Structure 1
Amino acid sequence: MPHTLVPLPSPPRPGHVPEVCLVAGDAAAAVKVAPLAAAMRARKRVRPVLLACGDQARAAAEVLSGFGLAIDVLVELARDGQPTTCAAAQLLTGLDHAFADRPPDAVVVQGDSATAFSAAMAAFWRQVPVVHLDAGVRSFDLTAPFPQEGHRRLIAQVSSLHLAATPDASANLAQESHGGPKVVTVGSTAVDAGFDALDRYVRHNDERVQAVENAVVAGEVRLALVVLDEARVPDERAAQVLHGIADLVLACPDLEVVLPVARGALRHLAYDMLGRLVRVTITDPLPQPELVCLLSVSAAVVTDSATLAEQAPSFGVPALVLGGEPGTWSEPPALGHPWTAGPDRAAIARIAEKLVLTHVERRCATPTDNPFGDGFAAVRCEQAVQWLLGLRDRPSEFAPRP
């Protein structure tokens, strides 16, 4: 079979429990890796080894600890302003040493970050099977997003097992001749993480946020959750986004906005542009249980996070995902999928207002299935890794209902 180091599943050595290294390079990757690690620990057929690496390794470790998971290996990266190429070389060296010190039977990488690409290459050069979580995501444009689209395609070339979240992602892989049994449609582990986080929710640490949630639950106001990452939203684009949020608040008298954002340039800009609006609450980044709880009671979510966009349909919440060029926007291709818009003030305000105003109508309708997952993606992923290592039959696949 092409594109694989492991042509067919082969049984492990007698008495040997395979170790599978799960790599998380940032908080977003940690959210998606955590359910798989938990499933492996529960089943005990393979031993998960959690590796946090890169300049955001500490953030990944913090997220994993929220799921009750401790990292086993830490590969930190001190960038100190060095070029991306130098940082990547340093990361490759650290990962290679980690895989040499504790040789894994397989390495799981998630997404399309430089960390995921580096880990995949380090494993490939040591002839360790690579498992790609969230495989098959494509824009079909190597320049957008850059360099993530290139990372996606290159990781696919060295992967022995492709875990695609949706049938569309599997179809994208098929177009690149990655087909057959080594492509498994599993659903998104972000959905699993969302349900798990909601189960762990107790209350909000910020009393202002708790007051907003109480008012939403009482039916007194509606909520728009706005979640932005400064690394993905440059200042000039952030200004357009925040202008659109301000216009949204002014257009909807019963709307509250909660904006969790890290301390930095984006937070200063948010205070400058939204701080005088009484129905906007700017707070520190929220732990997963608090964030998912707010999402579950929102009228709409405006975000640049694919994770939130995949979790939102489970709670009947429409999403507006920010990305692309200014002035561009598009409607969802199917029910449960997000709207998309570039950093354009008018488009963001108009689409978000449309989503918020249809909230009551949606709540009265029959809930629809989440096209991105059913909460059992981690189980399928764990079973697929077992199958790759010769421990069981190939699992059944995720198929969203039309």
Structure 2
Amino acid sequence: MPNTLVPLPAPTPGGRVPEVCLVAGDAAAAVRLAPVAAAMRARKLVRPVVLACGDGARAATEVLSGFGVATDVLVELVRDGQCTPRVAAQLLTGLDHAFADRPPAAVVVQGDSATAFSAAMAAFWRQVPVVHLDAGVRSFDLTAPFPQEGHRRLIAQVASLHLTATPDAAGNLAQECHGGPKVVTVGSTAVDAGFDALDRYVRHLDARVQAVENAVVAGEVRLALVVLDAARWPEESAAPVLHGIADLVLACPDLEVVLPIARGHLRHLAYDMLGRLVRVTITDPLPQPELVCLLSVAAAVVTDTSTPAEQSPSFGVPVLLLGGEPGTWTEPAAPGHPWTAGGDRAVIARITEKLVLTHVERLAASPTDNPFGDGFAAIRAEQAIQWLLGLRDRPTDFTPR
């Protein structure tokens, strides 16, 4: 490893299997870490210690359980309206205690949350190697998203191993002088999680959702799946998005919309604006098996999060990824990549209608490979961590076709 600014693994005592701590701070991180933990447990060359912490610890534990992965350590957080710096201080303290009680050979963090940043710093200060899953994501603007873009760059400074999902992400790291063998492109573990979730699917618990799926499979209707993170949408920003969905439903008479959303301000707003439309089903957040099953039969997906956007190409489903300034939009950079648009009513309705109307053409065309992963990202990630610990050769990088 040519970088002396980050710690190298300590030798493992003879006869002991090294323990690697995987830190999940919310449901989204849990989805991406679950396949890595499962790969470690299957191969038994390193022992995963799954730690859930932060505001989303309970949600992360539920998601992990859905993938058959047990949580080994729970570090709960009492927010009580505290500001982000004080919350981060609590996280650092709790994680430092956890790493002291059960010293890991390495710590795996995912993404750019405050939990990921706090776990990376707590491990670094204890001279434990940090492995960054989904490294190299950049907006190149420290103010957007804030503070996530700062977290991404700071984690990169202390990471001993960068696991990127795509060659583009590895290129972003190279621009910041993070290169060489310690950057491994493994693909997106969200794709692995999608395939695993679909294998676990049995049926929908909500009879309304099951009826929609049955109608889609029978060819009676088409489906637009809308997946939004309520925390990202204050009422003034959410209204144009929901208006765009309403316009879409009215423009496409054979279209059903399913909107899984947590109880709160966004759900109340959705009921006010969409509740009278008979072809809109608003339901509780769906477990991953149910969500991926719907995604796999959808004509289009509208979302503000990267996980469904990276899973959808595996099923030939186009995605509109919401983000950026209202009124702006861009076409996909390459096959399988999402369309992007700001929270603009007319743009959302127009692009999504275009994606829905091309559904029949896509069914007749040859499927394209998913540029974000092939379902083996978790195995590559587990092998790369073994390599970091001196247990095997470096794995081959994922190269999308």
After TM superposition, the score normalised by the length of structure 2 is: 0.98
AA aligned to 1:288 is Q
Distance 1:297 1:166 in 2: 25
Quote the residue 1:342 is aligned against.
342
Report 1:211-360 matches (<5 A).
211-360=211-360
Query: Within 1, Cα distance between the matches of 2:238 and 2:80?
Result: 25
Shift of 1:305: 1.3
Give the RMSD, CA atoms, in angstroms: 1.0
Structure 2 residue aligned with 1:5: 6
Counterpart residue identity of residue 328, structure 1: T
Contact preservation (8 Å) 1:166, 1:372: yes
Q: Using the TM superposition, name which of 10-19 and 184-193 deviates more.
A: 10-19
Q: CA deviation at 1:325?
A: 1.6
Tell me, what secondary structure is at the counterpart of 2:230?
Answer: coil
Q: Secondary structure at the match of 1:231?
A: helix
Q: Tell me whether 1:396 sits opposite 2:396 in the alignment.
A: yes
1:105 and 2:110 are equivalent in the alignment = no
1 CA distance for matches of 2:315 and 2:367? 8
Instruction: Tell me how far 1:69 sits from its aligned partner.
Output: 1.1
Q: Deviations over 1:152-197 (max 9, x none)?
A: 0000000000000000000000000000000000000000000000
Distance 1:338 1:98 in 2: 39
Report if the CA contact (8 A) 1:3-1:157 is conserved.
no
Counterpart for residue 24 of structure 1 = 24
Taking the aligned partners of 2:357 and 2:30, their CA distance within structure 1 comes to 34
Deviation at 1:4, TM superposition (A): 4.7
**1:110-132 CA distance string (max 9 Å, x none):** 00000000000000000000000
Task: Give the equivalent residue in structure 2 for 1:79.
Answer: 79
Structure-1-length-normalised TM-score: 0.98
* Structure 2 counterpart SS, 1:143: coil
- State the alpha-carbon separation in 2 of the partners of residues 98 and 193 from structure 1: 27
Match for residue 124 of structure 1?
124
Q: CA deviation at 1:3?
A: 5.9
Please report how far the alpha carbon of residue 269 of structure 1 lies from its aligned counterpart in structure 2 after TM superposition.
Answer: 0.3
Correspondence for 1:69: 69
Q: Alpha-carbon deviation of 1:235?
A: 1.2
**Deviation sequence 1:15-53 (CA, Å, 0-9, x none):** 121000000000000000000000000000000000000
Shift of 1:2: 2.3
Whether the 8 Å CA contact 1:10–1:388 is kept in 2: the answer is no
- For residues 363-382 of structure 1, the aligned pairs below 5 Å read 363-382=363-382
Q: By how many angstroms is 1:13 displaced?
A: 2.7
Q: 1 CA distance for matches of 2:5 and 2:397?
A: 20
Answer whether contact 1:300 1:352 (CA < 8 A) is retained. yes
Given residue 131 of structure 2, which amino acid in structure 1 is its aligned partner?
Answer: V
State the 1:263 CA deviation.
Answer: 0.7
Q: Secondary structure at the match of 2:236?
A: helix
Distance 2:291 2:139 in 1: 28
* Deviation string, structure 1 residues 213-243 (Cα, Å, up to 9, x no partner): 0000000000000011111112111111000
- CA deviations over 1:41-75 (Å, ceiling 9, x no partner): 00000000000000110000000000111111111
Deviation at 1:12, TM superposition (A): 3.0
Gaps of 5+ in 1: none
Q: 1:264-291 CA deviation, whole Å, 9 max, x = no partner?
A: 1111000000000000000010000000
**What residue identity is the alignment partner of 1:358?**
T
After TM superposition, the structure 1 = structure 2 runs for residues 107-186 of structure 1, keeping only pairs within 5 Å, are 107-186=107-186
Residue identity matched to 1:371:
P
Query: 2:397 is paired with a residue of what secondary structure?
Result: coil
The answer to whether the 8 Å contact 1:61/1:71 transfers is yes
Contact 2:140 2:149 survives alignment (8 Å): yes
d(CA) in 1 for partners of 2:81, 2:51: 24
Structure 2 counterpart of 1:384: 384
Separation in structure 1 between the aligned mates of residue 6 and residue 117 of structure 2, nearest angstrom:
17
Q: Is the 8 A contact 2:55 2:76 kept in 1?
A: yes
1:320 and 1:352 in contact (8 A); partners too: yes
**Residue equivalent to 1:96:** 96
Query: SS of 2:232's equivalent?
Result: coil
Distance 1:59 1:10 in 2: 33
Q: Which amino acid aligns with 2:6?
A: L
Question: Is the CA contact (8 Å cut-off) linking 2:165 and 2:372 kept in structure 1?
Answer: yes
Kept after mapping to 1: 8 A contact 2:111/2:134: yes
Q: What is the rounded CA distance, in whole Å, between the counterparts of 1:125 and 1:80 in structure 2?
A: 27
Q: Does the 8 A contact of 1:246 with 1:274 survive in 2?
A: yes
Supply the distance in 2 between the matched residues of 1:192 and 1:109 (Cα, whole angstroms).
17
Residue identity matched to 1:2: N
Identity rate, percent = 84
Structure 1 CA distance for aligned equivalents of residues 374 and 341 of structure 2: 26
Whether the 8 Å contact between 2:156 and 2:162 is mirrored in structure 1 is: yes
**Any gaps of 5 or more consecutive residues in structure 2?**
none
Query: Is the partner of 1:301 in helix, strand or coil?
Result: strand
Please tell me whether the aligned partners of residues 51 and 72 of structure 2 are also in contact (alpha carbons under 8 angstroms): yes
Q: 1:52-67 alignment to 2 at 5 Å? A: 52-67=52-67
In structure 2, distance between residues paired with 1:353 and 1:28: 28
